[in-house]
């Protein structure tokens, strides 16, 4: 566990090469440890190696006894890789949200929203997560969207 602790600390300090060396040592010592797989996923994400990070995060999910940080990182990586539906579905399942369609006519696809500024106000973390789901689609339509 010393390699994991040191690797995680080095990752936080931005010393990615050294963090990778320590996490490799941790993996050799405990290849079935979900915390090590998750730390490796975070390292690979910081290095911009998103496909490899996704693989490591999914491994951490499989090794974990219950949902948690590995699931959140795996969902975040799906979003970072442009796989929005899968990523949002995973996050929704993780926090127990039920997706609800927006039926507001002003947001329909037939309305030109370019140059519009929209602030999505969320009262708690779950609402913030739900509101953030719509930001990529709004931005693609030329909206300046902010979740508060």
At residue 108, the pLDDT reads 57
Helices (H) and strands (E) in the chain, counts: 8, 2
- Helix axis angle, 34-46 relative to 2-12, nearest 10°? 20
At residue 103, the pLDDT reads 43
15-60 pLDDT, tens per residue? 999 999 999 999 999 999 999 999 999 999 999 999 999 999 999 9
Of the pLDDT bands very low, low, confident and very high (cuts 50, 70, 90), residue 66 is confident
85-136 pLDDT, tens per residue? 898 888 878 876 555 554 454 555 666 777 777 776 666 666 666 667 777 7
d(CA 120, CA 116): 13
At residue 89, the pLDDT reads 85
At residue 119, the pLDDT reads 73
- State yes or no: pLDDT of 143 exceeds 70: yes
At residue 24, the pLDDT reads 94
Q: For the stretch 28-48, what's the b/e string if a residue is b when 16 or more beta carbons lie within 10 angstroms of its beta carbon?
A: eeeeebbbbbbbbbbbbbeee
């Amino acid at each position: 566990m010393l390699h994991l602790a040191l690797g995680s600390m080095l990752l936080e300090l931005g010393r990615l090469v050294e963090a990778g060396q320590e996490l490799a040592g941790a993996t050799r010592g405990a290849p079935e440890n979900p915390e090590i797989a998750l730390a490796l996923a975070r390292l690979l994400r910081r290095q911009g190696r998103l496909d490899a990070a996704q693989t490591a995060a999914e491994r951490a999910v499989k090794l974990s006894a219950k949902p948690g940080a590995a699931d959140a990182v795996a969902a975040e990586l799906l979003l970072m890789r442009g796989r929005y539906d899968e990523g949002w579905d995973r996050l929704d399942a993780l926090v127990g949200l039920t997706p609800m369609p927006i039926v507001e006519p002003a947001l329909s696809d037939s309305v030109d929203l370019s140059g519009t500024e929209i602030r999505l106000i969320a009262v708690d973390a779950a609402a913030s997560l739900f509101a953030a789901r719509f930001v990529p689609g709004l931005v693609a339509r030329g909206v300046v969207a902010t979740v508060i």
